[in-house]
Structure 1
Amino acid sequence: MVSSENEPAVEEIAQGFAAMGSEARLQVVLTLVRAGTDGLTIGDIQSRTGMPASTLAHHLKFLTSAGLIEQEKQGRAVINRPCFPRLETLAGYILKQCCADLDGEPGD
């Protein structure tokens, strides 16, 4: 499916949701969203999720490559933040479809 100039392609949206398709990755994203724009270190995420370090590293790499989180090195620490514009695009795409096939309803 081809996207309009301002709307992402359905394939791009599907890839974003697929990246959150595991319970562990969704847990990481939600943990970072709850933390807000300040982000969290890998150690903070690990303590909040209880995820083993190697598992967490794998999921962080996956989420970063999908554009759902951003990482910034600050000294020896790596700060992880949710990519709010990307997450808003995903949520907005779903919500924009609300009632689109009903006359006079939101999404018209």
Structure 2
Amino acid sequence: MNMKHDDCLTLAQAASTFSALGSEQRLHVLRVLVRAGPSGLTIGELGRRSGVTGSTLTHHMKLLSAAGLVRQERQGRSIICAAAAYEEMQGLVDFLLSECCADCAAPQQGYDND
């Protein structure tokens, strides 16, 4: 996704990122990485915790990385994977809620449509 915090997320950017999350396994892998925090997990530990291993995990990590949602970094002989795009994920949520209740007579309690 690679957007600056000040940039407005376009419909095409949001669709592309949501597409990367359009698999239960990819979404599960991302949630495991979010739970692990910014230090991430080795690819082996990510596979153990997510139950997704081998070429399937490699494929999912490639798509999540291309969407800018995760990063992979070699440390010695290990590959460390981490959820890297907390601001981008927040941007997706903001995109979905940005016009919440805009067409309602009265805004729903708990949501701003600024």
The share of aligned pairs that are identical, in percent, is 42
Q: Which has the higher helix share?
A: 1
Q: How many residues align?
A: 104
Structure 2 residue runs without a partner (length 5+): 1-5
Q: Secondary structure at the match of 2:79?
A: strand
Structure-1 separation of matches of 2:35 and 2:99: 26
Shift of 1:20: 0.4
Structure-1 separation of matches of 2:82 and 2:94: 20
1:107 matched residue in structure 2? 113
Shift of 1:86: 1.6
1:84 matched residue in structure 2? 86
Structure-2 separation of matches of 1:58 and 1:69: 13
Superposed CA RMSD:
1.6
Superimposed CA distance per residue, residues 44-81 of structure 1 (whole angstroms, 9 cap, x where no aligned partner): 11001111311101100111111111111111111111
2:3 matched residue in structure 1? none
1:44 matched residue in structure 2? 45
1:95 matched residue in structure 2? 97
Alignment of 1:45-84 (within 5 A): 45-82=46-83, 83-84=85-86
Structure-2 separation of matches of 1:28 and 1:21: 12
TM-score, normalising length: structure 1: 0.87
TM-score, normalising length: structure 2: 0.82
